[in-house]
Homo-oligomer: A and B are copies of this chain.
Amino acid sequence: MREIKVGIIGFGTVGTGTAKILISQRELIKKRTGIDIILKRVADRDLERPREINLPKGVLVQDAWEVIRDPEIDIVIELVGGIHPAKDFIMEALKNNKHVITANKALLAEEGNDIFNLAKQKRLQVGFEASVGGGIPIIKVMREGLVANKMLAIYGIINGTTNYILTKMTDEGIDFQDALREAQNLGYAEADPTLDIEGIDSAHKITILASLAYGIPLNFKKVYCEGITKITAQDIAFAREFGYRIKLLAIAKILNGEIEIRVHPTMIPENYLIAKVDGVFNAIYVEGDNVGATLYYGRGAGSLPTGSAVVADVVDIAKGNGLIPIDFSEKLSIKPVEEIESMYYFRFTALDRPGVLSKISGVFGENNISIASVIQKGRSKAGAVPLVILTHRAKEKDVLRALQTIDKLPVVAAKSVFIRVEGQES
C-alpha cells in the first residue's frame, strides 16, 4: 500500500483536530483511497500544554524545521497562523519540494501570490480548503464541482463570530456590545475581536474566493471592508419591519467585466435562505452561469470541522493529482466601492418639524436617488425622531454626496446611518 507521510506545524486548535482525525480515520481513509497516510511529526513551540490527544512518542517536536526539512515528509501542514514566520515555513517547505496545506487565510490573502507562484513554478500543490468556511468544502466545490461555470456572484456569511453576534442582536433585541460580550464568554469571540468584528477576517476569505472565482491575483488591499460595530438594535428592528435581516456579507461579483469585492453589513430579504443562516454557522451562496443558485452551509470554525477540511486536502494531494493547478493571472479590474450600485437603507435622526422629509427627499432627488419606502416613527421628548428610508438602486457615489449635504441640514440632529441592501428591486 502506498504511504504518504505528513507533518504538522502548529499544535493549537486546528492542529489538534487535524492530528486527531489523521489518527482516528487512518483505517477509513485507507479503505476509501488505498493510501496509508501517516502523521510523522507535529511541531509546536509549546510541548507542555495539555491537549486532548496523546501523540505517539517522538512525533511531537519543538522545531518547525524538523518538519520542513525532513526528507521523508511529503506534505507540510502549516497551522500556526499569522504572516511570519508562517510564510517562511511555507516558502521553505515548497523549496524543499513538499506540498503544502494551510488554513491561514490572512497569509494567503495578503501574501498568497508569492506562495502560489512558487508552488506553480515547483509544480507543487497548495491546499487551502480549511482557509474559508471551516468544514464546508467550498474551495473544492468552486474549483472542481462548478468548473463548468462562470461565477456570476458569491455572497458569503464566512465569519461565525459576527454572525453569532448579529443573530443574538436580532433574536433578543440587545445591543452590539452586549452580544459581543456574550460571544466572548462563550469563546466565539476573542479577547481582541478586531479581526472578526471589523470584517477583516471576512475580507481575507472573500479575497481568496474572488481569486478562485475569477482567476485574478489575490488582492486584499482592494477589498472594501466595513465591520458590524456600528449596527444598532434599532437598525435591526427597522430592517425586520421592512422584511429584512442584517448579515455581514462578503460579496464578490462580476458586472460588465469588472469585479466587485466587498465586505459590509447587508440587509437581505428574510425569505432568502442565506438570511436564515444563524449563530456561528457559515454559508456561501454561489451563482454560476449554468448551475444557477447554489448554497453551501456548515461550521466555519472549530477543531474537528476545520481538521476535516485539512485532511480532505491531504487525501487529494496524497492521490498525487486531481487538483487543477492554481493560476491567478487573469487581469480584471476591481471596482472601488464608490463605483458600485446598490439599494440602500438610511436612518436619519431628524428634528421633529414639518418639511423634514421633503428636504431630505429633495437632496435625494438632486442626486438621482429614488425612494422606495419610508418609515417615520412617532414623536420623541428630545424632539428628534428616526426617519428611515429604503431606496431603489442608486450609485454609491451619489449616496455619499447626498449624505454630505443631508448631514449639514439644520433639521438633521446626528450623523446619518446607511446600510446596503441586496435582493430583488421592489
Task: Tell me which residues across on chain B come within 8 A of A319, comparing CB atoms.
Answer: 321-322, 324
Question: Which residues, 138 to 177 on A, are CB-close (under 8 Å) to B?
Answer: 140-141, 144-150
Check A135 against B294 for contact (C-beta < 8 Å). yes
Check A298 against B295 for contact (C-beta < 8 Å). yes
Look across to chain B and name the residue whose beta carbon is closest to the beta carbon of A150.
B28
Look across to chain B and name the residue whose beta carbon is closest to the beta carbon of A323.
B322
Does A315 make an interface contact (CB < 8 A)? yes
Smallest CB separation, A205 vs chain B (Å): 17
Give the CA-CA distance A298 to B25 in the complex, in Å: 30
Give the CA-CA distance A136 to B296 in the complex, in Å: 9
Smallest CB separation, A292 vs chain B (Å): 5
Give the CA-CA distance A295 to B285 in the complex, in Å: 12
Task: Tell me which residues across on chain B come within 8 A of A312, comparing CB atoms.
Answer: 144-148
Per a CB cutoff under 8 Å, which of B34, B141, B323 touches A325? B34
Smallest CB separation, A299 vs chain B (Å): 5
In the complex, identify which listed stretch (A103-111, A301-309, A407-415) lies at the interface while the others stay far away.
Answer: A301-309
Give the CA-CA distance A281 to B294 in the complex, in Å: 9
Look across to chain B and name the residue whose beta carbon is closest to the beta carbon of A315.
B147
Smallest CB separation, A308 vs chain B (Å): 4
Question: Which residues, 304 to 341 on A, are CB-close (under 8 Å) to B?
Answer: 304-305, 307-309, 311-312, 315-316, 319-325, 327
Check B311 against A148 for contact (C-beta < 8 Å). yes
Does A33 make an interface contact (CB < 8 A)? yes
Look across to chain B and name the residue whose beta carbon is closest to the beta carbon of A322.
B322
Task: Tell me which residues across on chain B come within 8 A of A148, comparing CB atoms.
Answer: 21, 25, 29, 307-308, 311-312, 315
Instruction: State the copy count for this chain.
Output: 2
Look across to chain B and name the residue whose beta carbon is closest to the beta carbon of A133.
B294
When A273-B277, A290-B307 are in contact, do A324 and B33 touch as well, CB less than 8 Å?
Answer: yes
User: Interface residues of A: mostly helix, strand, loop or mixed?
Assistant: mixed
When A292-B299, A319-B324 are in contact, do A311 and B147 touch as well, CB less than 8 Å?
Answer: yes
Give the CA-CA distance A373 to B321 in the complex, in Å: 56
Check A149 against B308 for contact (C-beta < 8 Å). yes
Give the CA-CA distance A422 to B277 in the complex, in Å: 20
Task: Tell me which residues across on chain B come within 8 A of A400, comparing CB atoms.
Answer: none
Does A215 make an interface contact (CB < 8 A)? yes
Smallest CB separation, A388 vs chain B (Å): 27
Task: Tell me which residues across on chain B come within 8 A of A146, comparing CB atoms.
Answer: 137, 308, 312
Question: Which residues, 16 to 55 on A, are CB-close (under 8 Å) to B?
Answer: 17, 21, 25, 28-29, 31-34
Q: Which of A29, A148, A150, A295 counts the most B-chain CB atoms under 10 A from its CB?
A: A148
Task: Tell me which residues across on chain B come within 8 A of A221, comparing CB atoms.
Answer: none
Does A401 make an interface contact (CB < 8 A)? no
Does A276 make an interface contact (CB < 8 A)? yes
Smallest CB separation, A164 vs chain B (Å): 15
Smallest CB separation, A56 vs chain B (Å): 20
Task: Tell me which residues across on chain B come within 8 A of A291, comparing CB atoms.
Answer: 135, 298-299, 304-305, 308-309
Task: Tell me which residues across on chain B come within 8 A of A292, comparing CB atoms.
Answer: 135, 298-299, 302, 304-305
A-B interface, 5 closest residue pairs, ranked by CB to CB distance from nearest:
A322-B322, A137-B145, A148-B311, A294-B298, A135-B291
List 6 A-B pairs, Cβ < 8 Å: A32-B147, A33-B324, A135-B288, A292-B302, A293-B299, A294-B299
